[in-house]
Amino acid sequence: MEENVPAGCCVVAVDGPSGSGKSTVSRRLAAGIGARYLDTGAMYRAITWAVLRSGVDLTDAEAVAKVAGEVDLRIGTDPAGYGVTADGVGIDAEIRGSEVTGAVSAVAAVPAVRALLVARQRDMIAKAGRMVVEGRDIGSVVAPDADLKVYLTASAAARAARRSAENAADVAATAADLARRDQLDSTRKADPLAQAADAVVLDTTELGIDEVVARLRALLTERGVA
């Protein structure tokens, strides 16, 4: 954490598709302004892991919701390093695997799952007071009154290259998977991936992480909250 950062409340909502730089930017921004950090996508992935482990049919919304309501999900909010557990099991690596990645959009589309996690996310934001929250519906649904709403985007090629580098995966296969997830997430009935009307749109295709973070800090300074 940096010294001499403001101690007041400040909520930053960072939305955007996979590979746009949300996670790295959000963590660095949170550390820079003395805030907590919440990865809402990790919460949906953890529920997906629990659903897969239970063996219920992914198309059975009621069964999926039941698993989501019963699992003991815990997630840290330290931007320097956070952990995710489900029923006491550390699952940081498991939730980033291909099986969870392939199923998370289906689980996240279940209205009851979204209602459960959105309520949990809002409670965590309220308790933290000063938090950078990343996801797909933060500015539009979870924190519509955020001090700053940002929608990060990037070209499809850049997003695929970044994600394949992270996962040591084939670029073409990664691009196809990202396109599939974008389609599912943007067309689901409950809280689809969408840019909030008052969000600042930032294309990160040609920008480095430090430059993106600097721009967001400048915006917060302009608004008198960081």
pLDDT of 174 higher than 50: yes
pLDDT digits (tens, 9 = 90+) for 51-72: 999 999 999 999 999 999 999 9
Torsion of Cα atoms, 93 then 96 then 99 then 100, to 10°: 110
What integer pLDDT is reported at residue 167 of this predicted model?
Answer: 67
Query: Where does the pLDDT of residue 160 fall: very low under 50, low under 70, confident under 90, or very high at 90 and above?
Result: confident
pLDDT of 191 higher than 50: yes
One-letter amino acid of 176: A
Q: What is the pTM of this model?
A: 0.86
Average pLDDT of the residues of the chain: 89
pLDDT of 139 higher than 60: yes
Lowest mean pLDDT among 11-15, 16-20, 118-122, 164-168: 164-168
Q: Which element (helix H / strand E) includes 181? A: helix 171-187
Tokens encoding 51: 């659903």
Lowest mean pLDDT among 143-157, 165-179, 198-212: 165-179
Neighbour count for residue 132 (Cβ, 10 Å): 32
Spatial distance between the Cα atoms of 203 and 155, rounded to a whole number of angstroms: 8
Query: Where does the pLDDT of residue 168 fall: very low under 50, low under 70, confident under 90, or very high at 90 and above?
Result: low
pLDDT of 19 higher than 90: no
What integer pLDDT is reported at residue 2 of this predicted model?
Answer: 40
pLDDT digits (tens, 9 = 90+) for 77-122: 999 988 999 999 999 999 999 899 999 999 999 999 999 999 999 9
What integer pLDDT is reported at residue 5 of this predicted model?
Answer: 44
Sheet bearing 148-153, strands edge to edge = 36-39, 130-135, 10-15, 148-153, 200-203
